[in-house]
Structure 1
């Protein structure tokens, strides 16, 4: 889901590989065969299962706004996504997957695929790694030109654009992983397009995802071009928002796009580890909901880790992980919970609307304080509030609420409870069948009407309306 959203936001063409067809019950494997050939040799029951699962996938993608079909049934690849059933285990369908990808690339990305092997090398840093015996190295995709040992190269670091001289080039041997040193072949020159590991001095702090260029002649224009590319990173920053640290530029853009769709601001987005300085800066953010740092797949430096563990440092929240949508979901869940708590605390401090009726045959004490039975007609009745008549006359102060000799903090609409009223005498300030309001201060009414009204139950809103109508008979602008 997350990958589809990123591809859509970046308007990137793609193909869907429906994997693990060999795991379908009854599937007869045909090693390295095209899907259509292998599918032809399956029995009718297996074919039906495959078709059913493909159409379930088509339906799910359609719900997300994508029009798609099995690759051999697609007539317009510009309007429809191609689904290629494959098995990485048996190799079935791999040939057709490559065929579709190569065909689409040649048809719709001809200009982007054009390259020259004679000019200076141009590439992208995929990963920055420490290698035993080599120090910091760069895994680079060279997509244009030539790169040789001894070439001056320009690249982006956390502290700006830098240049160095290539010390060695390590090319992965055929069918081997680039990440394993003993499987490298040392070469003097490589030409596009290829993956290569670059070893050179001064590579610490290189930004993964940034451009790498070979310098021929004046380094100034090359370094200025890299600087411009770094400044054109597609991240929309806001004057108010949270802070993001990630391991690559692509990750920054993906997280920012995800947050933008949720209307969450980003104040600062940088590639690199989380430092103490980052936490100090986050601590200065005014909004408690944005006093947050999202760390995606990046290191938290020891001084920052000690700061996070400090019990006295609780103003900043750090969310870290290696899956973008999980980090974002954790933050959104936390923010919603914080807002709920703040609203709850505010609600608990506000005197809420309530209307009660004094019940007959339930006068337990007439005064000092008066103890009577009542029914809550609407709203939420809480202790330590003042009561008034429906005509505005003062009654007294509701001290406590009891039910079955147990004290209650509040009573909801429909409840029948006993209350004690200080400063009131039965027969003078009130009598049976009297309806009474909780007397809400004017400043509380303003909060209730302006901020909390949507969160109040309908019955409570009706009681609030009756109470404010009573108060506004003499002063139309009361509580406004």
Structure 2
């Protein structure tokens, strides 16, 4: 019997999270891992937790039996605790001061599609939290010509494939996964070629759909977590420490918290301390609820039953008075007595305060369901250079709309609310309609930002088009001799456009800078047109006190009369919007303006 069993102590199982881009197979992979463990062992012996699934060491060893020659290992950990909800939104809640509650991560990448936006975001979070990871290169069954061998180890299935299929897998593995990891600063290789797992990221080709490669994935994961954590492997003893995943109603019992316990032991009747937006929450555990022994794999329908104690690592639902004040993402700690509870309350609130967002005068309003997702959203916005006026946890309320309205006065493009995984209260919707405040909602961070950035670009582009439409562009025309159709009121003449553009409404000036009227209409071969460009010959009507023969003559060159403010905008903000010939005409116009008025200060 092992020393820890003799002493009555239990090693805690490492906590594993699954991250990756949406649609790359995170949920399917988790389902496959749970399903594989059920088929590998009597279902009643697999333990299901609240928000997590435990894959016991005995199951991993049984699955990995064919691989013992390649990956020799003996597990001393009791198993692996997989967080059931995939994605970095939940991972961000598994935070604690100085890092993450998660011990290890699986980064899922579609071997055929390669790295996508959320893949890069996941890597950034793993890097920030210093969480070691392996890569599951998923969807090998989609490689052209691949013949599936359900639930077999990858290395066995790989040997049964045609040489061209093997070559295609290697190419996609390198191009879409290994090379991309190198670009991000990580050495990486296929798991069976890795000599030093602490220096090189192991990539395991898998199919979550067929189960191929799952034995290697679990074996490498278990071996690596054990190796990485050998100095940190702890017995589950002492007061519990955890983090709240979600606050929910427990029918007949009141408000409950779904919690991941990452250290120690939690017992019914313990004093617990956690944090709320309005201050610390000190309460006593009324009930601890865990799922009944696993009969089938779906968590949602399983009833929960009371237990007396829970050992780390574990997912558990805690029922206690006052938890409706608590906030997801907050730490949860066990206190020995009321005095210690007060000290821990100060510590907990300091941690929550450390997540408070430093805000800007102008910027977007951010609302999220938990402290962790709020932090992740704010970090991503900061990286993209988007300022934040106000950020908080909870539904979108009237106050948030008022903040957005205040932001609108400074910069209308940031007068929006980004709502991640939260509802909008009716009075907030009404206020937003009244003031024209747009509310973006989504339960995937990158999609929420994608929607906002797309809208933002469209607004900027529309504003730019609007402003450009109002600016008078450089234009140069010559009155064609013999084509005076009307001498005045309005004068109608044939012109050739020597450079730039002319439009109705544009004022005209002579080469000496004297204004002679405004273009009323442009006709090309009898049809009215909205503009004429260099090289075109058209008829124009000029309104104003202009008489052909007195103010202008056949053969005269005329220019568009650009106001100083327009000229400044052309030379600063919109220089790239001018064609080469427009820029040449603008130079000539500025020369005329300076000659006419030395105070006209603009120079090229």
1:8 to 115, 124, 127: 124
Q: 1:41 to 1:439 in 2, by over 3 A?
A: closer
Question: When the two structures are superposed, what TM-score results if normalisation uses the length of structure 1?
Answer: 0.90
Aligned equivalents of 2:382, 2:488: Cα separation in 1: 62
* Equivalent residue, structure 1, for 2:494: 373
Cα deviation per residue 1:163-198 (whole Å; 9 max; x = unaligned)?
A: 222111112345467954643232011111111111
> What aligned pairs does 1:11-90 form with structure 2 within 5 A after superposition?
11=127, 12-22=131-141, 25-29=145-149, 31=151, 33-57=152-176, 58-62=178-182, 66-90=186-210
Question: When the two structures are superposed, what TM-score results if normalisation uses the length of structure 2?
Answer: 0.73
1:271 to 393, 397, 403: 393
1:362 aligns with 2:483: yes
Please state whether the residue corresponding to 1:7 is helix, strand or coil: helix
Aligned equivalents of 2:495, 2:187: Cα separation in 1: 63
Please state whether the residue corresponding to 1:402 is helix, strand or coil: strand
Aligned equivalents of 1:412, 1:76: Cα separation in 2: 67
Aligned equivalents of 1:261, 1:28: Cα separation in 2: 42
Judge conservation of contact 2:208–2:214 (CA < 8 Å) in 1.
yes
1:240 aligns with 2:362: yes
Judge conservation of contact 2:262–2:314 (CA < 8 Å) in 1.
yes
* Equivalent residue, structure 2, for 1:317: 438
Aligned equivalents of 2:576, 2:216: Cα separation in 1: 56
Judge conservation of contact 1:158–1:272 (CA < 8 Å) in 2.
no
Judge conservation of contact 1:18–1:86 (CA < 8 Å) in 2.
yes
Q: Structure 2: 5+ residue runs without aligned partners?
A: 1-116
* Equivalent residue, structure 2, for 1:450: 572
Q: 1:450 to 1:102 in 2, by over 3 A?
A: same
* Equivalent residue, structure 1, for 2:218: 98
The offset of 1:43, in angstroms, is 4.4
1:148 aligns with 2:264: no
Judge conservation of contact 2:512–2:596 (CA < 8 Å) in 1.
no
Q: Structure 1: 5+ residue runs without aligned partners?
A: none
> What aligned pairs does 1:318-337 form with structure 2 within 5 A after superposition?
318-337=439-458
Aligned equivalents of 1:205, 1:397: Cα separation in 2: 69
Judge conservation of contact 1:6–1:257 (CA < 8 Å) in 2.
no
The offset of 1:478, in angstroms, is 0.6
Cα deviation per residue 1:143-167 (whole Å; 9 max; x = unaligned)?
A: 1111111112111223222122211
RMSD of the TM alignment (CA)?
A: 2.6
Greater relative contact order (Cα 8 A, min sep 6): structure 1 or 2?
Answer: 2
Cα deviation per residue 1:69-121 (whole Å; 9 max; x = unaligned)?
A: 2111123434432211223344432232223223333444556x444533211
* Equivalent residue, structure 2, for 1:259: 381
The offset of 1:344, in angstroms, is 2.2
1:227 to 349, 357, 360: 349
* Equivalent residue, structure 2, for 1:287: 411
